[in-house]
Chain A
Amino acid sequence: MASQVFKRGPVKAEMNITPLIDVVFLLIVFFMLVNKIVSDESVPMRVPVLDNPQTREVGEVERVVVNVAPARGNRQGDPLEGEGNAQFVQVGASLRFDPEDLGGITAAVASAKATAEAGGASGVEVILRADSALFYDTVQPVLDAVTEAGVETVHLTAFLPDDGGVGEPLGAGGGASGGGGG
Chain B
Amino acid sequence: MAQVADPIQRRLQPKRTRKPEKGSMNLNLTSMIDVIFLLLVYFVVTASFVEDEGVITARLPQREGESQQTDTTPPPTQPLRITLASTGSHDVRLSVPGAPPVRGFSELGVVLDGLMDDPERGKRGLFESTHPVLIVPDGQVRWQHVVNAFNAAVGARFSNVRFVPVEEGGR
Contacts and interface: CB of A to CB of B under 8 A. Distances in A.
B140 interface: yes
B130 to A, nearest CB: 9
B100 interface: no
Contacts, number: 222
B15 interface: no
Interface string A115-153: 000000000000101111111111111011101101111
9 contacts: A27-B43, A28-B43, A51-B151, A54-B151, A55-B53, A152-B60, A159-B52, A171-B57, A174-B129
Max count, chain B CB within 10 A of own CB: residue among A139, A165, A181: A181
Contacts of B106: 51-52, 181-182
B123 to A, nearest CB: 9
A104 interface: no
Interface residues of B, number: 73
B148 A135 contact: no
B67 A144 contact: yes
Given A53-B151, A80-B90, A137-B171, 15 more contacts: A24-B40, A50-B105, A52-B155, A57-B54, A80-B142, A132-B143, A132-B147, A135-B139, A136-B140, A153-B60, A154-B57, A156-B56, A159-B54, A161-B54, A182-B110
B55 interface: yes
A28 to B, nearest CB: 5
B57 A170 contact: yes
Interface of B: 21, 29, 32-33, 36-37, 39-40, 43-44, 46-47, 50-69, 84, 90, 104-106, 108-113, 116, 118, 120-121, 129, 137-144, 146-148, 150-152, 154-157, 159, 161, 163, 165-166, 169, 171
A67 B121 CA distance: 38
Given A159-B52, A180-B155, A175 B120 contact: yes
A157 B29 contact: no
Contacts of B56: 54-56, 155-156, 158, 167, 170
Contacts of B63: 150
Given A17-B29, A152-B60, A180-B109, A158 B147 contact: yes
B54 A165 contact: yes
A154 B139 contact: no
A93 interface: no
A154 B151 contact: no
A100 interface: no
A50 B147 CA distance: 8
Interface of A: 8, 17, 20-21, 24-25, 27-28, 31-32, 34-35, 38, 42, 47-58, 78-81, 84, 127, 129-141, 143-145, 147-148, 150-161, 165, 167, 169-171, 173-175, 179-182
B125 to A, nearest CB: 11
A90 B163 CA distance: 22
Nearest to B151: A50
A49 B32 CA distance: 44
**Residue with the greatest number of chain B CB neighbours at <10 A, chosen from A136, A150, A159, A173:** A136
Nearest to A35: B47
